[in-house]
A and B are shown apart, each in its own frame.
Chain A
Amino acid sequence: MSQDPAKKEQNTPEEATATGVESTVVGPKDDPADKPTTDNQRMHVEASPASEISDADEADSAEARAQLAAMSDPSIPVIEPAHDMTGVQIIDPVWVHSGYWGPLDENIHPAVVAIRSAFPGVVKEVTIFRDEVTIHVVAERLAEVALLLRDDDALAYSHVSDLTAVDMLGLRRSPRFDVVVTLYSVKHRKRLRLKAAVEEGQRCPTLTGVYKAAGWLERETYDMFGIIFDGHPDLRRMLLPEDWDEGHPLRKDYPIRGYKQYVQPGYENPAPRIREPRRP
């Protein structure tokens, strides 16, 4: 159960190593007297540059954790406390101990093991954040992976809870979209998230052959992001009108008010309405 704190805080290994280097270089040991204790001092700390403080705290607590680990029994798992931005330690029993997401070691997680043995090379990465396991798979094999997860009796992910996408424009160069599938196993009470990275214009295989619930969810994803699902029986607009010609609104480059300026009929050139001052 012991978790890597870097893995919990950051998603990608690059970022984790980057902050680790920073903390060793920048982080001078804080005087214990300087540590924020009251609310007043906490406010004061927040006004000063935040990066120094958090790095120093991180290095400090890492050392303390190492000491603790050396002293204590190695068989007892050490639970890493979460940090908020002020450095106040918050131990969150619900989110750390909730065992609903399966074993937190990716090498023994049954879904990862099953996919790796059935389709070698399909699992690109496994990330764990707040006990939620996300398996990044190759987009072309998404439907086969879902079929395997549904039909394997030890996994039995019978439910597709959610299917959506995230536009990663600005966060990474390529590929642009992440198709996110949240699966749930009614039998084993486990949740799992699949992610497939899709380039703009690339087709993603449909999951309608595996889960009928994916029909409308994929239609909505197509409507909002423009991702085309290959083999979908009825890929139309879902929430927007059928003749909508202004693109896909949940893309990050779509303006919040839309591309067109809508003018209410009769108000093309609204005359300034001046209200007469009320006289007694």
Chain B
Amino acid sequence: MSATELDIQQSYGTLDVEEERQLSESKRQLVLNMGPQHPSTHGVLRVVVTMEGETIVGSDPIIGYLHRGVEKIGETRRYSQFTPWTDRTDYVAAPQNNLGYILAVEKLVGITATERAQYWRVIMAELSRIASHLVWLGTHALDIGALSMSLFCFRERELILDIFEKFCGARLTTNMMEIGGFSRPIPPGLVEMVESFLKIFPEMQQEYVDLLSANPIWLARTRGVGVIEPQAALDYGLTGACLRGSGINYDIRKAQPYLIYDRIDFEVPIGTRGDVYDRYLVRMEEMRQSLRIIRQCLDQVPTDGPLMRHDSNYCIPPHDTVLRTAEDMQRHFVWVVKGFNAPKGEVYVAIEHSKGELGHYIVSDGSAVPYRLRIRTPDFVNLQVLPHMAQGSMLADMVALIGTIDIVLGSVDR
């Protein structure tokens, strides 16, 4: 057998002595199955890795183990009934998923939320962005070897989940947003909770920075690893921190401002080298900018005023007037039982999710259920770049590469 034939021959299963010798001399490729139940794959991601020695020459991510057919379910539910399903697509950032879907429906029917509700939506979305980044940082550092980071990050995430619980009653699957605003009032004491979080969190974040940013082990595992060139990042359709880490400035909050982001002063961090360390820096800075956004929102938000639009039958009537007036009780009954007929048409609304561009594409045929509901999740598209990044790197870097894309398999598989 010639050497070239040996090169392309791949081994499966147990190896004999001769095969092991060829492997060690990089004359034979080894196919290694990683996952789907592996702690570092953040869920049920399976990667089939082809290696020459310790170097990865090819990898094939296999997904779909968590596929629930959310888009098919969306075609059988009325517009208002689908909001709880959006919690379950990306379950570490549920308010942002609610927001993306609700904005798409609002654009389809042609209404906007009240000003006060828009500010509170931004506050909740930015808190959720910090929570999502904390989960990412904790698990990513845990994969690379910094065990204590996950303990710290989940400790601060509890504070945010407490705020969500105060606001809407749920910690994880929040289902907090409605078409036209919020149906429940802002509970007393919520503003103080957010204020205290704003006061506490910068010190906590400094702890992470002290632990990681100049840590020699962290630097050795992340710098120069998984480099994505700017052109490749564009080709692969990356969004979010993966794209900005490569130096391309695309943040939907700046490029196509939705809600009240155009009144807020904040900056978009951009990386230079496009490696794992740059994406870490970008996400850390995004958390600081989120704090700035929440601070300004708390200063600008009107202290009283309607949280829900009362002049449209697309919106659920607010809870207090439903209990007080007969008209709103009837409207509430019709809204819940019959729903509403949306106008014919199609919309695509994208928001800046903590993982990238979250798009909802709704086709309406004029009935009470969407004719087609498409969810473009950011991490599904971002995960495509994994084989490109892993090409030529070591097997031990694979866990760092999976972690740096920031995937949640419920969102990838939908």
Whether the pair A162, B359 counts as a contact (CB closer than 8 A) is yes
Give every chain B residue within 8 A of A241 (Cβ-Cβ): 64
Main secondary structure of the interface of B (DSSP, over half): mixed
Tell me the smallest distance from the CB of B362 to a CB of chain A, in Å: 11
Cα–Cα distance between A193 and B112 once the two chains are bound (Å): 23
Cα–Cα distance between A182 and B237 once the two chains are bound (Å): 11
Within 8 A of A (CB), among B385-414: 413-414
Given A129-B347, A132-B346, A161-B359, answer yes or no on A256-B72 (Cβ-Cβ < 8 Å): yes
Contact with A along B297-317 (1 / 0, CB 8 A): 000000000000001111000
Whether the pair A90, B313 counts as a contact (CB closer than 8 A) is no
| B144, CB-defined interface residue at 8 Å | no
Whether the pair A189, B327 counts as a contact (CB closer than 8 A) is no
> Which segment, of A196-204, A207-215, A269-277, faces chain B?
A207-215
Cα–Cα distance between A182 and B374 once the two chains are bound (Å): 12
Whether the pair A212, B236 counts as a contact (CB closer than 8 A) is yes
Give every chain B residue within 8 A of A212 (Cβ-Cβ): 232, 235-237, 384
Q: Which of A38, A39, A94, A189 contacts B255 (CB 8 A)?
A: A189
Give every chain A residue within 8 A of B73 (Cβ-Cβ): 256
Whether the pair A88, B108 counts as a contact (CB closer than 8 A) is no
Tell me the smallest distance from the CB of B393 to a CB of chain A, in Å: 19
Q: Which of A40, A46, A164, A193 contacts B334 (CB 8 A)?
A: A46
Give every chain A residue within 8 A of B314 (Cβ-Cβ): 84
Given A9-B344, A84-B111, A85-B341, answer yes or no on A164-B361 (Cβ-Cβ < 8 Å): yes
Tell me the smallest distance from the CB of A233 to a CB of chain B, in Å: 12
Q: Which of B69, B110, B328, B376 contacts A39 (CB 8 A)?
A: B328
Cα–Cα distance between A38 and B111 once the two chains are bound (Å): 19
Interface band, chain A: 35 or more
Tell me the smallest distance from the CB of B22 to a CB of chain A, in Å: 28
Of the candidates B238, B311, B345, the one having the most CB atoms from chain A within 10 angstroms of its own CB is B345
Whether the pair A10, B344 counts as a contact (CB closer than 8 A) is yes
Given A92-B112, A161-B359, answer yes or no on A250-B237 (Cβ-Cβ < 8 Å): no
Contact with A along B355-380 (1 / 0, CB 8 A): 00101010101000001101010001
Give every chain B residue within 8 A of A249 (Cβ-Cβ): 69, 72
| A262, CB-defined interface residue at 8 Å | no
Give every chain B residue within 8 A of A162 (Cβ-Cβ): 348, 359, 361, 374, 376
Tell me the smallest distance from the CB of A220 to a CB of chain B, in Å: 8
Contact with B along A167-187 (1 / 0, CB 8 A): 100010000000010100010
| B164, CB-defined interface residue at 8 Å | no
Whether the pair A213, B236 counts as a contact (CB closer than 8 A) is yes
| B149, CB-defined interface residue at 8 Å | no
Whether the pair B327, A43 counts as a contact (CB closer than 8 A) is yes
| A93, CB-defined interface residue at 8 Å | yes
Within 8 A of B (CB), among A146-162: 158-162
| B170, CB-defined interface residue at 8 Å | no
Give every chain B residue within 8 A of A213 (Cβ-Cβ): 235-238, 381, 384
| B207, CB-defined interface residue at 8 Å | no
Give every chain B residue within 8 A of A167 (Cβ-Cβ): 372
Tell me the smallest distance from the CB of B236 to a CB of chain A, in Å: 5
Give every chain B residue within 8 A of A182 (Cβ-Cβ): 348, 359, 361, 376
Main secondary structure of the interface of A (DSSP, over half): mixed
Given A130-B347, A161-B359, answer yes or no on A238-B63 (Cβ-Cβ < 8 Å): yes
| A134, CB-defined interface residue at 8 Å | yes
Q: Which of B256, B311, B374 contacts A98 (CB 8 A)?
A: B256
Within 8 A of A (CB), among B138-177: none
| A42, CB-defined interface residue at 8 Å | yes
Give every chain B residue within 8 A of A259 (Cβ-Cβ): none
Give every chain A residue within 8 A of B235 (Cβ-Cβ): 211-213
Whether the pair B311, A94 counts as a contact (CB closer than 8 A) is no
Cα–Cα distance between A92 and B312 once the two chains are bound (Å): 12
| B213, CB-defined interface residue at 8 Å | no
| B135, CB-defined interface residue at 8 Å | no
| A100, CB-defined interface residue at 8 Å | yes
| B350, CB-defined interface residue at 8 Å | yes
Q: Which of B237, B334, B350 contacts A211 (CB 8 A)?
A: B237
| B182, CB-defined interface residue at 8 Å | no
- Please list the 10 inter-chain residue pairs (A to B) with the smallest Cβ-Cβ separation, ordered nearest first: A213-B237, A82-B110, A239-B64, A129-B345, A39-B327, A162-B376, A212-B235, A239-B67, A40-B327, A166-B372
Enumerate chain A interface residues (CB-CB to B < 8 A). Answer: 9-11, 15, 38-40, 42-43, 46, 82, 84-86, 88, 90, 92-95, 98, 100, 129-130, 132, 134, 158-162, 164, 166-167, 171, 180, 182, 186, 189, 191, 193, 211-213, 215-217, 220, 224, 237-241, 249-250, 254, 256
Enumerate chain B interface residues (CB-CB to A < 8 A). Answer: 63-64, 67, 69, 71-73, 76, 107-112, 232, 234-238, 248, 250, 255-256, 258, 311-314, 325-328, 330-331, 334, 340-341, 343-348, 350, 357, 359, 361, 363, 365, 371-372, 374, 376, 380-381, 383-384, 413-414
Q: List 6 A-B contacts (CB under 8 A).
A: A38-B327, A94-B258, A95-B107, A212-B237, A213-B235, A250-B72
Known: A43-B331, A82-B110. 19 other contacts (CB 8 A): A9-B344, A11-B344, A39-B327, A46-B334, A82-B111, A84-B111, A85-B313, A90-B111, A94-B112, A94-B258, A161-B376, A166-B371, A171-B371, A182-B361, A191-B348, A193-B348, A211-B235, A216-B383, A241-B64
